[in-house]
Amino acid sequence: MNTGDLPPISIPAGDYDRLIALVDAAERAPTPVVDFLAQELNRAEVVADDQCPNIVRVGSLVAYRDGANDRYRTVRLVWPLEADVNRNRISVLSPVGAALLGMSPGQSITWPRPVGEPRTLTVLAVYGSDMPDPAA
């Protein structure tokens, strides 16, 4: 995928180093998701933590629309060990989590999937980590 076709994204400096370390560790057993996350981190603008109020970051509660099935979801983006699909907590190492990282409300991203048609997600709203988890 041409990175020129992807929306601009920002990653808070406080998360960036940990995300890079996560990708480095995961590259021992590379997957398409790890490759995609590495690509996203390489093209991201790294910004100060206080410049990220409406940017999807680890800990954010995010509402989005899945263009594949026109379904609306609200999830919390978390580190891999905190993921719990039953509580709508998705890992930054999941396909949806990697795609949402760094996005702002109104932005959409399309990426190729290993199986099936490309998938498009549109961010509708981003809330801080102080918001309660969505109902399962």
Predicted pLDDT at 13: 92
| Mean pLDDT of the 30-34 span | 83
Q: CB of 91 within 8 A of CB of 72?
A: no
pLDDT tens track for 59-92: 999 999 988 788 999 999 999 999 999 999 999 9
Range from 5-9, 11-15, 89-93 carrying the lowest mean pLDDT: 5-9
Banded pLDDT at 112 (limits 50, 70, 90): low
Contacts of residue 101, defined as CB under 8 A and 6 or more positions apart, other chains included, come to 9, 11, 19, 37, 40, 56, 57, 58, 77, 92
Predicted pLDDT at 28: 79
Q: Report the distance separating Cα 20 and Cα 33, nearest Å.
A: 14
Chain centroid to CA 51: how far? 17
